Structure 1
């Protein structure tokens, strides 16, 4: 009986958050180690289905770098990176298109349906919603067929949300000439969140959030303002690979998204715990109230 009462208490705690976010759009960026962990991925997709069931409007934007690397190895194509971005020649682009916009995108959609949800894959193979242009680096270095998003077809995405389906979008876009461009998944998720005016953008990571001591997961900071985040970058508390993640969060806040979250996608039901509990399990970054 005590266990049953504890479950009821948890539902009561969640009720306030469910009412608050009902009808709101949340963009979830999937990628990296999470896509390779079948058990973690299943629980994330169950969380997404729960979110849709209780009235939220989740949108998935995904990468798939590890799957692409495996496919390139099978084709004897050596990966090349320029300033942390995958150099994409025509041969690499064909693999990216097949794996990311085809196999991974279809698998995610089918798994959501298998778990009892409703989903629709939106890619260059079906209905494309991401459009862009070739990305040019300030250094002048060539990235090949790598792009940046300049337009998102929000009408198609919102149409699916209105019919209680989960849009599943790969980080690949079309250019103005009908060609295809490879896009960084973080920046693709940011573009979608901004276009939809999302309440939340969630980056599923392999760390539990921003930490005061980057080596100690127990020092996680659950809530950070924009100014606090900038100060921590300035004094070195936020360092190395966490810097671009936090800077991406801050840029997204500047473009109208309500809050951005960094959470550990490997933690079971981390999405639900972050959104529907008072404390959360990751780091929530929000815009300063006086700005």
Structure 2
């Protein structure tokens, strides 16, 4: 009986958060081990379906770095990185688009339907929601560096996305955008998710990662930082505590917060039901990033 009462208490704790976020859009970025490990993916998809069932309006944006790497190896194509980004020539773009759309996106939507949910792929023709332009980064000497068919999102069909969430369907978007000529652009999944959240003025952006959140010591999960503002984050970047792939995640959080997103979170996608623990409990389990 005590266990049953504890379960009821957990539901009551969640009730306030359900009321607060009911009918609000929540953007979730899926990637890394949360997508690679079948058990982790299943619990994540179950969590997303739970969000929809209690009245939240989730939107899922996903990447696919590791499956793309494997497909590149199978095709005997080298992976080239420029300033930490995948250089995307035409041959690489064809693999990226196929893996993201046909292998990953279709599989996620099928699994969500098998679990009893209602999901829809948004990645082609009249259901393409992300549009962009080529991204050029500044090199160490200030020169513009060409990344090939790599882009950044500059337009989102928010009405299309909202029409599905309003109808109780869960949009699933790969990190691909159309350019002005209808050609694909490979977009960083974190920045794509942040752009979607910012345009929708979502209640939350949640980035699922391969770490418990932002750690002062990456070897010690007990050093998790539960909350950070921009000044604190900049200091940690300067100190090298936030580095490598975590920097674009933090920058993506800042971008969408400035666009009107209320809350952003970096959490461990490998942990079962981490989404529910972050959204529906007082303490949460990851790092909240705020301005």
- Report the TM range for the smaller structure's normalisation: over 0.9
Aligned to 2:8: 8
Deviation at 1:275, TM superposition (A): 0.3
Bigger drift between 66-75 and 274-283 goes to 66-75
Deviation at 1:212, TM superposition (A): 2.9
Deviation at 1:228, TM superposition (A): 2.9
Pair 1:159 & 2:174 matched: no
Bigger drift between 234-243 and 245-254 goes to 234-243
Bigger drift between 219-228 and 102-111 goes to 219-228
* Cα deviation code 1:165-197 (max 9, x no counterpart): 000000011111111111111111111011111
- The match for 2:236 among 232, 236, 254 is 232
- The match for 2:281 among 277, 280, 283 is 277
Aligned to 1:132: 132
| Structure with the higher strand share, 1 or 2 | 2
SS in structure 1 opposite 2:199? helix
In structure 1, runs of 5+ residues without a counterpart are none
Pairwise CA RMSD of aligned residues?
A: 1.4
Aligned to 1:249: 253
CA distance in 1, matches of 2:16, 2:169: 24
CA distance in 1, matches of 2:186, 2:91: 12
* Aligned ranges 1:101-116 → 2 under 5 Å: 101-116=101-116
Aligned to 2:190: 186
Aligned to 1:146: 150
Aligned to 2:121: 121
Whether contact under 8 Å (1:124, 1:173) holds in the other structure is no
CA distance in 2, matches of 1:238, 1:274: 21
CA distance in 2, matches of 1:111, 1:138: 40
Deviation at 1:145, TM superposition (A): 0.9
CA distance in 2, matches of 1:32, 1:47: 17
Deviation at 1:51, TM superposition (A): 0.3
- CA 1:90–1:237 in structure 2 vs 1: closer, same or farther (change >3 Å)? closer
SS in structure 2 opposite 1:104? helix
CA distance in 1, matches of 2:32, 2:106: 17
Pair 1:258 & 2:256 matched: no
Pair 1:220 & 2:220 matched: no
Bigger drift between 157-166 and 118-127 goes to 118-127
Aligned to 1:61: 61
Aligned to 1:35: 35
CA distance in 1, matches of 2:85, 2:240: 24
Number of aligned positions between the proteins:
287
| TM-score when normalising by structure 2 | 0.94
| TM-score when normalising by structure 1 | 0.94
- The match for 2:204 among 197, 200, 205 is 200
